[in-house]
Structure 1
């Protein structure tokens, strides 16, 4: 990059966008970075106050910001992603499929700590839709040393910083527990809530069984759904510590491995997560999922729908940010819940 007088710029390549501002009329880029200055451009450049320009000179030790931005994008990109157009040393990473979004936060921090470059992402661990912006990358100066970008590549490693795990088709069985529902003392209002949340994904609800508080009956109902090909079973209710709350016992009696009974999330502390020997998830949902707009279920479901394992360690990590503030106008996931 070289600093020259605009009157001497004919034939040179501009290193940065030139913006024209006319109050109340126009604010727009009149010359894009990379434009080759011709004789007719010089009066226009002078009219917008550009008596001097930075022009590009090829230097084997330096990258132009657009070239370096491509390197940042290459560190991020993975399957089911595409780039935006490069502009002013910036490239956005765009989702090319619906799925569960993951970021390697540790390596991202290392790259951003190098200086003169940045990658800003949306939060890891949340669903994204095709067309969503996943990250923005930018080189801060107009040019950057090649050795610095090589260091950045070594820091990032060979594995992409970002990942989308596409959502899968699932066949779901719903078990509604409680004698009060079985005998018609109250209407089932839990099932419709679960169906509404599942409707956001590629799901077939293969059935809903209303069962009382007998743990053997609940276990039998779960096993029947599994034998019918369900690859997810959701049990609603009966998750507290009262004598009639027998759902946790029933899930355990199926032979499934209990990953966690309880999670540091409000609403949703009495949530249960289990997996069968065939790795089919079984969830026990506490009553709060029925009446609270956002709960532990909203944090777990996208993970389950992409076959991302729900581990005890991950559930434990939800404590920081696991308090829903029950805002009058819910903005989830554009809020702090689960982050």
Structure 2
């Protein structure tokens, strides 16, 4: 890449290598044309009005890629399913969710791209819940021109690793709620679990098809779970009675009918969480914190299940880094560190 001085009349199609400032006394001083701008026929009169009869432009070598073209390539490589890519502005390309859903980030590919010189890409955290139109990633070329070999490496990473960001729509899942606890079952205390869980699952497009209650009785809880399966539930949420106290028999009931992925999570609040499956049906044991804490491990795991992901033991273990809630006076989740390790 070199720079050279040319007459304005010869500059159409060429690329500015510096900003051109416009000053209107008493009104403004600002950038009229930015470096990297490709001169158009309609720009000539304005440039002359700014006193520019000659300008300095870039002379690109054969192996140079203009920043905007580099930005387009980066956007194409990053974008997966349900992602819309903007046109570059000073090489900056933004990627937006085309649907409501769960953001999936190929962190390995993202890391490999950012190891290359002269390019940068950033995303929202993996497994973020995103809305249609929300910006989920951005990418940019650092200099005005990037060597073609670097952009070829970017493309090769895309071929090897696949897309960097995609959005998985939430499924219209059918959900059964089983509220356990003798006090609630007998009407001694009011059920506080149902409204909280209903709001969270419906916010992601789920439908609560049944709500039932059971005392602290292993057999009855087990029967309620089996009944939920008969109703065609995709997910069964069993709340309460998840501690190690002798009276808390919910974990035993779940273990008797389901394959447990993990009992206990490295997330606070949510340590007594249980993840299990009966075939393809997720059966989730939700501890008492799910009733009174605004955000718990459930808010980290449930969106992934609603998007069709099958949770593994390693997925829960990985939540340890970032799994401690700060308990802010005013909750800012998901715009905080919780679950973002």
TM-score when normalising by structure 1: 0.92
Distance 1:52 1:288, change over 3 A: same
Give the secondary structure class of the aligned counterpart of 1:46. Answer: coil
Partner of 1:332: 333
Structure 2 residues without counterparts, runs of 5 or longer: none
Displacement over 6 Å in runs of 4+: none
Q: How many matched pairs? A: 333
Partner of 1:177: 180
In 2, Cα distance between equivalents of 1:102 and 1:27: 43
Cα deviation, 1:109-146, whole Å, max 9, x if unaligned, reads 11111110000111112211111111111011111111
In 1, Cα distance between equivalents of 2:309 and 2:166: 12
- How far off its partner does 1:21 sit? 5.6
Cα deviation, 1:75-116, whole Å, max 9, x if unaligned, reads 111110111121111111110011111111122111111110
Q: Does 1:10 align with 2:15?
A: no
Partner of 1:292: 293
Cα deviation, 1:40-59, whole Å, max 9, x if unaligned, reads 23433437xx974224x464
Partner of 1:97: 99
In 1, Cα distance between equivalents of 2:174 and 2:325: 29
Partner of 1:87: 89
Partner of 2:225: 222
Report 1:176-325 matches (<5 A). 176-254=179-257, 256-277=258-279, 279-325=280-326
- How far off its partner does 1:18 sit? 4.3
- How far off its partner does 1:184 sit? 1.3
Cα deviation, 1:192-241, whole Å, max 9, x if unaligned, reads 11111112111211111011011111111111111111100000101001
Select between 107-116 and 157-166 the one with higher mean Cα deviation. Answer: 157-166
In 2, Cα distance between equivalents of 1:248 and 1:132: 39
Distance 1:21 1:334, change over 3 A: farther
Report 1:110-189 matches (<5 A). 110-158=112-160, 159-189=162-192
Distance 1:31 1:222, change over 3 A: same
In 2, Cα distance between equivalents of 1:273 and 1:266: 16
Report if aligned partners of 1:274, 1:283 keep a CA contact under 8 Å in 2: yes
In 2, Cα distance between equivalents of 1:323 and 1:316: 13
- How far off its partner does 1:188 sit? 0.6
- How far off its partner does 1:31 sit? 3.8
Give the secondary structure class of the aligned counterpart of 1:73. Answer: helix
- How far off its partner does 1:14 sit? 4.6
In 2, Cα distance between equivalents of 1:283 and 1:142: 52
Distance 1:117 1:21, change over 3 A: farther
In 2, Cα distance between equivalents of 1:69 and 1:36: 20
- How far off its partner does 1:39 sit? 4.9
Task: Name the Cα RMSD after superposition.
Answer: 2.1
Report if aligned partners of 2:68, 2:91 keep a CA contact under 8 Å in 1: yes
In 2, Cα distance between equivalents of 1:104 and 1:308: 15
Give the secondary structure class of the aligned counterpart of 2:15. Answer: coil
